């Protein structure tokens, strides 16, 4: 089968059009232009802070019939909030903020809101931090439930490597999401190839572990050798000196297709941040070309 029979393309606009993030009107102009070409079936970007533009985005999402995932990473990191903080008051403030962001996501037409955990506090405090994060996720899910069809995504990052977040290894991510979700099927994982690789995980095993709670896939490249310049996940372009090329990307999706349950199609996006000296539309074109080459592959599953 072709991988496009199991996976659909998603536009990670906050990375493709990174130079436009602080110019929300221009960002939406770019998004609308690209969606008008009819390739992508999902849009991902950060929170829009203008109520008028949230309304415009909801109109765009509805008009083009695409899903929308609102990422809230910077909304939490910028003011120093942390969903896995040891300090209960910090977690309370973080929870309150995320609930407001859920409402803003709904205003924007989102069917998903996505986040990451806080920094790794070290082995001694990980269990406490994980329990705190579980409480936050459960509280946020109560807000998510007010909007039928909306889901909460948690992206596991690397731990002990570049980003060094609490969550983390795939087995711990699955355990946390399972406990937080409590069988509702409203809390899922957004799996990222760069972070799984930086964790030292075998990607096929990571996908197998994550399959029952997997909601989305980011094909992201990284330099894995800590002795080399550029080590880590810098949302780099595909290919060398990183590990991710078209064959690797197709292999990842083939492995995912073999373990994902049911007949549902899953979204896949290419995570490549537009360099400062590059036209964002050229960056999007390159990301789309890579994704098309991956999804056009024939595989045996």
Q: 224-266 pLDDT, tens per residue? A: 999 999 999 999 999 999 999 999 999 999 999 999 998 999 9
For 269-294, what is the mean pLDDT?
Answer: 97
For 54-66, what is the mean pLDDT?
Answer: 99
- pLDDT value at residue 126: 97
- pLDDT value at residue 166: 98
- pLDDT value at residue 151: 99
- pLDDT value at residue 297: 98
For 262-283, what is the mean pLDDT?
Answer: 96
Per DSSP, the residues of the chain read -BGGGTEEEEEEHHHHTGGGTT-HHHHHHHHHHHHTTT--SEEEEE----HHHHHHHHHHHHHHT-EEEEE-HHHHHTTT--TT-SSHHHHHHHHHHHHHHHHHHHHTT-SEEEEE--B---GGGHHHHHHHHHHHHHHHHHHHTTSTT-EEEEE---SSSSS-BS--SHHHHHHHHHHHHTTSS-EEEEEEHHHHHHTT--HHHHHHHHGGGEEEEEEE--B--TTSTTBB---PPSSTTSS--HHHHHHHHHHHHHH--SS--EEEEEE-PPPTTS-HHHHHHHHHHHHHHHHT-B---
Residue 271: pLDDT band by 50, 70, 90 thresholds?
Answer: very high
Tokens of 278: 């590059």
d(CA 54, CA 35): 17
The pLDDT of residue 51 is above 90:
yes
Percent of the chain with pLDDT over 70: 100
Q: 61-98 pLDDT, tens per residue? A: 999 999 999 999 999 999 999 999 999 999 999 999 99
Set out the domains of the chain in order of their start, with CATH numbers.
3-295 (3.20.20.150)
Q: 156-168 pLDDT, tens per residue? A: 999 999 999 999 9
d(CA 203, CA 194): 10
The pLDDT of residue 195 is above 90:
yes
- pLDDT value at residue 77: 96
Residue 301: pLDDT band by 50, 70, 90 thresholds?
Answer: confident
For 187-202, what is the mean pLDDT?
Answer: 98
- Its pTM stands at 0.97
Cα angle 118-124-94, degrees, rounded to a multiple of 5: 25
For 26-30, what is the mean pLDDT?
Answer: 99
Q: For all residues of the chain together, what is the average pLDDT?
A: 98
Rounded alpha-carbon distances, angstroms, from residue 250 to 188, 193, 246, 261: 22, 12, 6, 19
- pLDDT value at residue 275: 92
């Amino acid at each position: 089968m072709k991988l496009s029979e199991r996976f659909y393309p998603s536009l990670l606009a906050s990375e493709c059009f990174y130079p436009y993030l602080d110019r929300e009107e221009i960002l939406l102009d770019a998004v609308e232009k690209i969606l008008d070409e009819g390739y992508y079936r999902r849009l991902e970007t950060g929170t829009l802070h203008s109520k008028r533009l949230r309304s415009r985005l909801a109109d765009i999402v509805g008009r083009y019939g695409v899903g929308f995932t609102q990422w809230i990473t910077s909304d939490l990191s910028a003011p120093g909030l942390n969903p896995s903080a040891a300090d209960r008051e910090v977690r309370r403030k973080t929870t309150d903020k995320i609930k407001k962001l859920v409402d803003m996501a709904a205003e924007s037409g989102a069917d998903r809101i996505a986040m990451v955990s806080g920094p790794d506090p070290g082995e001694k405090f990980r269990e406490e931090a994980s329990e705190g994060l579980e409480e936050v996720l459960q509280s946020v899910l109560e807000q998510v439930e007010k909007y039928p069809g909306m889901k909460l995504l948690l992206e596991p990052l690397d731990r002990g490597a570049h980003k060094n977040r609490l969550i983390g290894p795939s087995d711990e991510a699955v355990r946390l999401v399972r406990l937080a979700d409590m069988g509702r099927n409203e809390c899922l994982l957004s799996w990222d190839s760069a972070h799984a690789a930086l964790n030292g995980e075998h990607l096929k095993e990571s996908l197998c572990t994550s399959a029952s709670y997997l909601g989305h896939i980011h094909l992201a490249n990284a330099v894995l050798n800590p002795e080399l310049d550029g080590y880590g996940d810098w949302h780099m372009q595909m290919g060398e000196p990183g590990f991710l090329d078209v064959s690797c990307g197709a292999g990842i999706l083939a492995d995912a297709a073999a373990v994902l349950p049911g007949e549902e199609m899953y979204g896949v996006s290419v995570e490549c941040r537009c360099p400062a000296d590059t036209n964002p539309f050229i960056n999007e074109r390159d990301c789309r070309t890579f994704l098309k080459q991956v999804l056009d592959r024939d595989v045996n599953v």
